[in-house]
Structure 1
């Protein structure tokens, strides 16, 4: 099947993208406004860009009214943020932080999430996340419908149990990582039954 994005609606392209680029763990992104108000928001589009220097990328959507999200506003103002993994025991709180609230609302307090101080940046960490990454904003781009933020990594936080000889042990990480939420865990992944295409597939051979 050949699919041309130009022939699809925006929603269809979105569904195709999230169905193709997987697995994709959620970045529970924390920022702080210049006045100290803490913001916490789940971001589904994020990834590594480079390891030398270490850089991560987050893709942030606008508000429904077209305005800039509080997360992005804080990033522009302070130049800092943290990325935190989300585990299943945090799912309810994470969904609360996905709500659109006023900028003056402390979303750590709103969702009952415990913050922890970061080592380098002013933005807080999520205290009970398995892995947290401290970042300083490197660049902000607008290539399309969303804003892309590149962050230079200045510190990692991870439990000792997933390390072996100063490196993350993949088996230990896999054991611990079973609890980390992927974007697929937060959406309805039970679509309507699809027609049987086995005959068409057989003829195409």
Structure 2
């Protein structure tokens, strides 16, 4: 089956891409809406794009009414965010925080998620997540007619749960199965990472 993308509506393209580019990691992004009122939202158009500078990128559309999503609005206002990697046991709470809410309503409070203050950082992290990237805004680029906002985040500090770190002398190694990351598929589907394997790269 061959599909001519130009014949599809944007919503059809979205559903096609989210069902074929799989699995996708999820950026669970915490930002400050003002006066320590924390917004939290998941984005599965997400990846690492550079090591020098250390950059992550996620893509956010607008709200149904055309307004900026709170995450984008907040990072433009404050320049700070914390991007978490959620584990499978947090699937319900990740999904709960995807709801469109009025600006200023805290998803962390609605989902009853514990926050931990981090010395030297402007924002706390989620206690339940094994990985957290404390980031500063590098750039926001608007693309398309919808539009989408590409948020480029420069990593300042990384939290890694010691329980997922393997004992190695040469360099840091993390056990992906111990992280048990929540993997995004299409529609309302998620996947579980239950096996890893290695293939030696050519020299």
TM-score by length of 2: 0.83
Q: Which structure carries more strand by proportion? A: 2
How big is the alpha-carbon RMSD for the aligned residues of Structure 1 and Structure 2? 2.0
- CA drift at 1:36: 1.8
1:34 is the counterpart of 2:34: yes
Contact 1:31 1:124 in 2 (8 A): no
Out of 100-109 and 43-52, give the one that drifted further.
100-109
Structure 1: runs of 5+ lacking an equivalent: 190-205
For residues 130-168 of structure 1, what are the alpha-carbon distances to aligned partners after superposition, in whole Å with 9 as ceiling and x for unaligned?
Answer: 111011000000122310010110011112242433634
Change (3 A) 1:23 1:131: same
Change (3 A) 1:66 1:82: same
Which position in structure 1 is the counterpart of 2:183?
182
Q: Which runs of 4+ in 1 moved over 4 A?
A: none
Count of residues in Structure 1 that have an aligned counterpart in Structure 2: 186
TM-score by length of 1: 0.83
Is the partner of 2:136 in helix, strand or coil?
A: strand
CA distance in structure 1 between the partners assigned to 2:170 and 2:188 by the alignment: 36
Q: Which structure carries more helix by proportion? A: 1
Greater radius of gyration (CA): 1
Q: How does 1:136-175 map to 2 (within 5 A)?
A: 136-144=136-144, 145-161=147-163, 162-163=165-166, 164-165=168-169, 167-169=171-173, 172-175=174-177
Structure 2: runs of 5+ lacking an equivalent: 191-203
CA distance in structure 2 between the partners assigned to 1:156 and 1:168 by the alignment: 13
CA distance in structure 1 between the partners assigned to 2:90 and 2:187 by the alignment: 12
